[in-house]
Structure 1
């Protein structure tokens, strides 16, 4: 399923926040991304309609199986690309920003080749 970059960012943020805390609410996402609460509410509605998240009666957000799969894929890409760019000498803040953009547009085939290269490189360190 092809989803928009913004949805991928929201799902990745929910994953990251859920690793920090047991509960994730819209306000937590708004604070993390520096977005307005109404903007986040609209996005959460769309994610819920696409069965990528659930929201319980207390307003806590949970990733569905499909949402978790997308979030994990984006987070893996982000971490690997950011670390790789930093290793190549790109300053960490720029590497993180660039990785955030690249993670959404890189093909799975290209990412797998980069991942294999990084693993091979790590074996020789």
Structure 2
């Protein structure tokens, strides 16, 4: 499993768990419920799906953590958004006011080939794109 078959909703849960765990080191179902503004039963279902896909694991105290695979998939998703954000900022500029939700939808929908092409374009555009080195999609 490489995460490509995850639904948009599952990807949002995975991304939230990743962000929360990097900020606090620990994620509880209630954190997900509050952070994504969803009911606790929805969190339970989503975590079960992610667990089945090998993306998360639950600890005995009820915490939720990412597996190595889950971390890798979440990082790729984050990197896609960073590359897209840079691309839109550089090509459209201040007129680009995409919300996080819009950016997530684009990142979810865009192919790996398209992201690589955008990344190559930005790298050729000049040294001011040094952030691309950190966000490189691999």
TM-score range, shorter chain: 0.7 to 0.9
Distance in 2 (alpha carbons) for counterparts of 1:77 and 1:63: 19
Q: Deviations over 1:1-26 (max 9, x none)?
A: 42212111111111111111011111
1:22 aligned to which of 3, 25, 31: 25
2:60 aligned to which of 57, 61, 66: 57
Distance in 1 (alpha carbons) for counterparts of 2:38 and 2:22: 20
Residue 120 (1) aligns with residue 117 (2): no
With normalisation by structure 2, the TM-score equals 0.80
User: Does the 8 Å contact 2:83/2:115 carry over to 1?
Assistant: no
Distance in 1 (alpha carbons) for counterparts of 2:52 and 2:9: 15
**Match of 2:16?**
13
- Give ranges in structure 2 of 5+ residues lacking alignment: 130-138
SS at match of 1:3: coil
**Match of 2:34?**
31
1:98 aligned to which of 77, 102, 105: 102
**Match of 2:84?**
81
- Give ranges in structure 1 of 5+ residues lacking alignment: none
**Match of 2:134?**
none
Runs of 4 or more off by more than 4 Å in structure 1?
Answer: none
Count residues with an aligned counterpart.
124
With normalisation by structure 1, the TM-score equals 0.87
**1:124 Cα deviation from its structure 2 partner:** 5.3
User: Does the 8 Å contact 1:86/1:95 carry over to 2?
Assistant: no
User: In angstroms, what is the RMSD of aligned CA positions?
Assistant: 1.8
